[in-house]
Structure 1
Amino acid sequence: MKDIIQVCGLCVGFLGCVCAAVSLQVRSWKESSDEDSVIITSNLYENLWMSCADDSTGIYNCWHFPSLFALPGYIQACRALMITSIVLGMFGLIFTLVGMQCSKIGGKNYIVKGRIAVLGGVFFILQGVCTMIAVSWYASNITQQFFNPLYTGIK
């Protein structure tokens, strides 16, 4: 029964790591809303790395942010948190694979393997916390900009 739980924990941790890596590349972290407009000429998308636009003819253009230091602080912090999340997930995968009792990596000392597996679980928890902070912080800033009547950028 322990082996099944450990394998399920490894699979869930792997899926969390993959989802964090995929969400980092998704282009529509921020998307323009033109629902109340009669004429929609273009849609704007933005993520942590680039800004994209597509128009009604189907032409799609993306451009990377020109400078790291020209970005707002929360985008830089979200980038760092997401990268840290992926690194923590990789460490979690490695430590969990070594610490599983059904693996032969690391010998037969099950007490040490159990502690290593717990350390892998801690890395997975830290990965989830970093991802939740980054996504929640970014969403909070988008919501504040959307409801701020003095914000001059794209809503």
Structure 2
Amino acid sequence: LIFFFIRRRGKNERGMANKGLQLLGFALAMIGLIGLLAGTIMPQWQMSAYVGDNIITAVAVYQGLWMSCAYQSTGQMQCKVYDSMLQLNRSLQATRALMVISILLTVIGLGVASMGMKCTNCGGDDKVKKSRIAMTGGIILLLGGLCSIVACSYFSYQIIQDFYSPFTPVNT
């Protein structure tokens, strides 16, 4: 989204560069949306390994935002969607909400930014109006990214707090 903050140099000089930078920013935002969707869906947000006396009985438990999976050393993986939202802890519920908000803001930001791009006909021919629309789309995209950063940071903070908690049982 750096392309919104480039200074004007001259009419002929900045025309293609800004269009190219806008397309680059839009493409990077699309890649970010794909990564955001993949990260939200994946069950590998938290991992716990339980290794008994025997390597054959080893189990790795993955917990995601929407399901938990158990991967056994035999190669089998079993996943179960969470039954009720009420049984989930607050950090998981907050992370879920922030990630969904982030996805929604990113989709809205992409729509608004595409209307303000120089290579589209949406938003009229007024250059000032189109640049303001593009700036608004960029700000919405930044807010969506901020929501995902806060969600991931908060969830990882909770994992670290649980790991160092004296009340967490030791794997015996």
TM-score by length of 1: 0.91
Matched, 1:150 2:150: no
Which of 38-47 and 93-102 deviates more? Answer: 38-47
Distance 2:144 2:46 in 1: 23
* CA apart distance, 1:34: 5.0
* CA apart distance, 1:33: 3.6
Does the residue aligned with 2:84 lie in a helix, a strand or coil?
coil
Give the aligned partner of residue 39 of structure 1. 54
Matched, 1:102 2:129: no
Give the aligned partner of residue 61 of structure 1. 78
Distance 1:123 1:79 in 2: 19
Does the residue aligned with 2:85 lie in a helix, a strand or coil?
coil
Q: 2:147 aligns with which of 105, 130, 133?
A: 130
In the alignment of these two chains, the number of paired residues is: 153
Give the aligned partner of residue 13 of structure 1. 29
Q: Percent identity, aligned pairs only?
A: 33
Answer whether contact 1:42 1:56 (CA < 8 A) is retained. Answer: yes
Answer whether contact 2:49 2:59 (CA < 8 A) is retained. Answer: no
Distance 1:22 1:94 in 2: 20
RMSD: 1.7
Ranges in structure 2 where 5+ consecutive residues have no aligned partner: 1-16
* CA apart distance, 1:67: 0.8
* CA apart distance, 1:153: 8.5
Per-residue deviation, residues 101-155 of structure 1 (Å, max 9, x unmatched): 111122211111111100110011001100000000000111111111212498x
CA distance 1:74–1:114, shift in 2 (3 Å): same
